[in-house]
Chain A
Amino acid sequence: MEMSANQELILETNELTKKLGGKPVVKAVNMQIRRGDIYGFLGPNGAGKTTTIRMLLGLAKPTAGSIRIFGKDIRKMRLAILRKVGSLVEYPSYYGHLTATENLEAVRRLLGVPKSRIDEVLSIVRLTKEAKRPVRGFSLGMKQRLGIATALLGDPELLVLDEPTNGLDPAGIQEIRELIKSLPQTSGVTILISSHLLSEVEQMATRVGIISKGELIYEDSIHRLREQAQGRVRLGVSNPESAWRLLLSHGYPVGWENGRLTVAKADDRTVASIVARLVKQDFEVYRVEEETASLESIFLQMTGTEGSL
């Protein structure tokens, strides 16, 4: 589903900036989230994701810039906004000596939603069976699920999840991912989810924003990012060097690399006509391979952390 420009903006930041200890850790971020988006907020460790999210939730005050959520300024209408926002910041907060139900009840009393919501959110995150156990004894995955249940308690229109899969094993990650993917269908909620791994959100995100060293360096639909990731076609042929010269002389955009011919961003027709030309000139064509750059490698390139991970 491609974004149409007239879709309602749910969240918008304008030159959002935060200095911590005199050092800017979020720099003039302009971020836009539309209704129904699952917005993957990506960036390596220390990029400023949590700092940005804290400002979005009114937990920290921006040094400069502004935030509008549901069209309202967070500075002026924090309470009205937060009534429709559910969040999980960094790692789940919970009261270890209380059961899952009691933890949710402590929050429910502040939200003033009906008691029945507790059972509903517990069943959404599949913790109904563990509801009467003290949370202290929960596994990390269960705590994370309880955190999501807490975020869902007020039936939010916007769900803000900061690295909800951090520290989980692959099965736990998969479980949380399935859970998050199932949410928009069931409740029509818009989701902002941060991660330091593109692979973790690429299957569910409709849009991505990439932050690096405090700057939002990319923001667009996941499709656009995929297009960027579209690779080259490599050709294995007999006598490649003369094949290369031949193709160049006919104006094809071919490259020469490690004894192989490459064609950048080639559409089907170009590839077909290249192959036809080569066969006609009695070259033997052994292989025509698509070489896709992974989204992850593009992400790493953008954030300049390739090799350091």
Chain B
Amino acid sequence: MMLRILSSEFLKIRKKLIWLLVAAGPIGVVALQAVNYGVRYDYLVAGKETAKLWSGLIGNVSMLALPALMVGLALVASMTAGIEHQMNAWKLTLALPVRKRQVFAGKFLLTALLLLISCTLLVPLTVALGLALGFDGPIPYGDLLTNAYYPYLAAMPFIALQAWLSVTMANQTLPLTIGIVGMIVSMFAGGRFPDWVPYKWPQLVNASHEPLYSVTAGVALGLVVFVAGMAEFVRKDVK
């Protein structure tokens, strides 16, 4: 049933702006870094060893990708839910023989999968930029993948939160505001906040210097928020 729901969800976002956003996010991030490297080529590149060049590039891309992810997840969640809100199609779907919690799970999964596509795109785009800048030697795919997926997993509580807010509220002002404020908070969360603050997790910094702690905490809290959102969605009458 979940597969049927997902296939229906993907059909519904056909020809939608949402796909543009999913592609534009990572492309924008890498393009900005292309400009950065173009302008400061001598400082950033000249005379450095290959490994340093790649790790530098990956770090720079991540620095921009994080706020993009934090605001992108609010936008994507709002757009996937907006498809139903626009013509009040919730009553159409929920009068069909489907479980309410599966409908909610479908929206969350759609949002999560679209963001996963965005994060995945970062990898080939970063590689392409590195190669274009003339970096040679072994491409550090391990680092590239962890930098694409760890922050994504650590941001899971926010994906679940935005999916919840956007699905339950017809007016998207509040969800979007919370998403944008969240992005700003997360940008300054680095050194200032204690490790337990979820806004810090996507940066993967913690006292133990173990990124997987942030990832694990993110996935765990993400699950909790998802279940809480689902419970509320199931309880509420459909508008």
Contact = CB atoms under 8 A, between A and B. Distances in A.
A binds B: yes
Contacts of A105: 11
Given A95-B83, A98-B14, A106 B97 contact: no
A257 B237 CA distance: 54
Contacts of A85: 95
Given A60-B237, A95-B12, A98-B12, A112 B92 contact: no
Contact of B91 (A59, A98, A112): A59
On chain A, which size bracket covers the interface? Answer: 20 to 34
Contact of B8 (A57, A82, A106): A106
Interface in B1-44: 4-5, 7-8, 11-12, 14-16
On chain B, which size bracket covers the interface? Answer: 20 to 34
B11 A59 contact: no
B146 interface: no
A181 interface: no
Contact of A94 (B4, B5, B89, B94): B89
Given A58-B95, A94-B87, A94-B89, A110 B14 contact: no
Contacts of A89: 91-92, 95
Interface string A65-109: 000000000000001101101010110011111100010011101
Nearest to A150: B92
Interface string B70-93: 000000000000010011111111
Contact of A93 (B4, B8, B91, B237): B91
Interface string A226-254: 00000000000000000000000000000
Contacts of B7: 109
B46 interface: no
Contacts of A111: 96-97
A54 B96 contact: no
A133 interface: no
A277 interface: no
A95 B89 contact: yes
Given A95-B87, A96-B87, A57 B95 contact: yes
B94 A102 contact: no
B97 A93 contact: no
Given A59-B91, A89-B92, 14 more contacts: A54-B91, A59-B95, A79-B97, A79-B98, A89-B95, A93-B87, A93-B88, A93-B92, A95-B89, A98-B12, A102-B11, A106-B8, A107-B92, A110-B98
